[in-house]
Amino acid sequence: MNKVYFALGLHFHQPVGNFEEILERAYQNCYKPFLGVFSKYPEIKMAFHISGNLLDYFEEKYPEFLDKVKALVDKGQVEIIGGGFYEPIFQAIPKIDRIGQIEMLTRFSENRFGVRPIGLWVPERVWSPEIIPELNVCGMKYAILDDAHLIKAGVDKDDVYGYFLTGGDDAKVAVFPSDKALRYTMPFRPPRETMDYFKSILAKKHDPLFTYGDDAEKFGEWPYTHDWVYKKGWLNSFFKALTGNIRWIETVKFSDCLSLFQPLKDVQIPEASYEEMMEWANGSWMNYLERYPESNQMHKRMWHTSQRIKDLVCSDKVAMKRDKLAEAKRELFKAQTNCPYWHGVFGGIYLYHLRKAVYEHLINADKISDEVEHAQQDGWLDIKEMDFYNSGRQTVIMQDKDFFICVDPADGGAIRELDYKPESWNLVNTLARREESYHKKILDRINKNYSSNFEIHEAIKTMDKGIKNGIYYDKNIRACLIEHFIDNDLSKGDFANCNYTDKGDFQEGTYRAGVEDRKVVLTRSGRVNDRPVHITKEISIIAGEGIEINYTLKNQGDSGMNTCFGIEFNITMPNAETDRYSDKGNAFILKDSKDELCVELRFSERPKKIWHFPVRTVSQSERAYGLSYQCSCIFPIWDIKLASGEETGLNMKISIKK
């Protein structure tokens, strides 16, 4: 008898660093009730992929949830899908970490559920054929992608009702294409529409195999879904529809499909993701690293940390330290969670707490590596010039037991990262204000300029009233030690809103960098109001005290110079936004909102004035258009008067205190 075969896979995920109240809400509104309803229908088979951050959470808070999953596995009702433990984009991490992440989840599944997964959940369905060899090494026999991947590979939409093989002669993997029509109807449309869709394809195909692979959060955690799925009974009705039509609909596990069916064909699937992601990322997920320099900073820091751990594992310093390095790897893997590195309809990189988690775990991994590499070494200091950004240009990395500093000579000689290791905190965890495609929709709403194709889901999004004050875009990255020469009558508001013209060319210019006497020395000859000016800035770590910065400005012109000179600092405190600022003598102090830490900027010469203001971006989530705090900008300004050939110096110290 001709029948429908239906393979269902659900992906349970929350990013590392997400607020515990969100995990609790998702558990109560989605995960717990879903399992409660599903358990009542033993005839229905399904596959679960649960990412590592949720596994950690369940194990600590709700181990009974995992016990119930284990019982369903033992009954043969649930298949466990593997993948990267902490949900990395495989293409974006080193090969050794791809294997390490997959093996970590495989070991957990064996120990907790008693099964070894042979299927892979591909995070955000970001696929690249380059990962196939690592999948084979890890024993992964199949992966779930979207039908869009197959269509991009040349398969007709009417021919995706089965599974495919992809790869070369030496390494292949089966691919199940998740059906877009199902993803858009489940759980948003009445169950009968899914049944009607099955019937329409069954009338044209013999024993079609349908694949559904999507987020479990759609079943209760997404906005407005909890009432619909549970209180109004969608999930119960859907399972009843499946079991009521068991004569012609059979739910199957993905692993069983490999023996029940032959692959439809062998195809070469190019780099791809789901359609919306391809649109957001302009064709490739890796483009996010170009669009957001802050994402690239996290990514290259992650890569640098991974390489350091790898080098230590291979060195003679690893004796009796393997447990330590395994701990460092777990911290690294947590920092590879994909969510903070990109942005689409969810907050992603715009969410400070997710970026904070990335840096926190990378710094934790670094501290463990420090213990291994610099055991019994007091007062160590490491300064290296390297191609940190893999861009063909040199970057300087300076660190000791307390600080990690990344200086980018090619981008204004700015400090792109300043980690305070004792608190696992990056002071320069910032994000610049930049244009997003949906900003036009926001402006249209403000101006009530609705087009004829106004999307209905736009109407349900709330909007922060503060957005009506304007959307502004930054001229450069939000980092530290960015030099500006400005008009004397420039207002703080115009500077904050980037409504000004810089009189110098130092803020994004390239500096020459070198290392002298345990200091990073940066020099640049540029122009201010078309007058030649030379700047030298020296950065050093003073053990046990903080960071010292020395500036020398020299007028190389033929006439005198009278200008306003400012140094831009962009700092984010551990608990994000703070309004606890104080200006005391030659010092400016930021205190954390919870009063746990403070950053002091102390100047040798009191600035004429110090501007400070919060930097907020306009971004979207699935629920709202909002203003998100990203950092506090501190901008001390001095009057500089120099005769021809004259130079002046400024000294400042950055210290962190409890």
Catalytic residue positions?
124, 215
Indicate the angle between helix axes 293-313 and 352-373, nearest 10 degrees.
20
39 token code pair: 């358990």
Nearest by Cα to 547 from 485, 635, 481:
481
SS3 43: coil
Q: Is the peptide bond before 191 cis (omega within 30 degrees of 0)?
A: no
**What contacts 506, CB < 8 A, 6 or more positions away?**
412, 483, 484, 485, 524, 526, 535
Q: Around Cβ 357, how many Cβ atoms within 10 Å?
A: 22
Please tell me the distance from the alpha carbon of residue 355 to that of residue 617, in angstroms, as a whole number. Answer: 15
The answer to whether 126 and 91 have CB atoms below 8 angstroms apart is yes
Q: Of the candidates 49, 137, 128, 122, which has an alpha carbon nearest to the alpha carbon of residue 88?
A: 122
Local structure of 443: helix, strand or coil: helix
Distance in angstroms (rounded) separating the CA atoms of residues 334 and 331: 5
Instruction: For 410, list phi and psi in degrees, rounded to 5.
Output: -80, -10
Q: What are phi and psi of 507, to 5 degrees?
A: -65, -25
Q: Residue 479 CB: number of other CB atoms within 10 A?
A: 27
Are 96 and 306 a contacting pair, CB within 8 Å?
yes
Phi-psi region of 542 (alpha: psi -120 to 50; beta: other; left: phi over 0): beta
The Cα 630–Cα 633 span in angstroms is: 10
Q: Convert 62-78 into a string of H (helix), E (strand) and C (coil).
A: CHHHHHHHHHHHHCCCE
Cα distance between residue 7 and residue 30, in whole Å: 21
Q: Which of 383, 388, 369, 658 is nearest to 516 (CA)?
A: 383
DSSP state of 511: P
Between CA 620 and CA 79 the distance in angstroms is 35
| Neighbouring residues of 183: CB distance < 8 A, sequence distance ≥ 6 | 212, 214
**Interatomic CA distance for residues 586 and 602, integer angstroms:** 6
Q: At what angle do helices 293-313 and 322-335 cross, to 10 degrees?
A: 160
Q: Are 144 and 9 in contact (CB under 8 A)?
A: yes
372 and 317 Cβ atoms separated by less than 8 Å: yes
Cross-strand partners of 522: 513, 537
CA distances from 11 to 85, 162, 198, 218, 253 (A): 13, 20, 23, 10, 15
